[in-house]
Amino acid sequence: MTATSAETTGFAVEFTTPMLGLSPHRKFTLEQIAGAEGLYALRAADADVRLFLLDPLSGDYGYAPALPADVRSELGASEESEVRVFVVANPADDGVYINLRAPVLVHRETGRAVQVILDDQAYPIRALLGS
């Protein structure tokens, strides 16, 4: 997925199974939010459902989880470089929290996606951005 295509037209994303809490929705559009580097809106194609996703490579977050081979296979990706990694961002009164334990993985070419829960306890479920 190129930044240009995501910024102007959106990128079709289809989850292999619905994300927790978003069932039955599986088809979404991923759009970069203008003026907010690395921040995207994930919008359901068939409902008024939206999540914010952050590309952790857009900043110095030190986030580099190992992607399980079975998950890459589920996406149809033979190499990690074929997969974009995003984390869910939740705005709150005291800042923005990101979920580093359950990244959203998207195949760069096909848009096939999955949310995976990592076994690595080093990654918190709720981390305050900037802390």
**CATH number for position 84:** 2.30.290.10
Structural domain boundaries, residue 105: 3-128
pLDDT on residue 9? 57
Model pLDDT for residues 73-87, shown as the tens digit of each residue:
999 999 999 999 999
Q: What is the mean pLDDT of residues 53-70?
A: 87
- Taking 60 as the threshold, does the pLDDT of residue 4 lie above it? no
CA-to-CA separations, 23 to 44, 46, 91, in angstroms, rounded: 11, 12, 22
Q: How many domains does the chain have?
A: 1
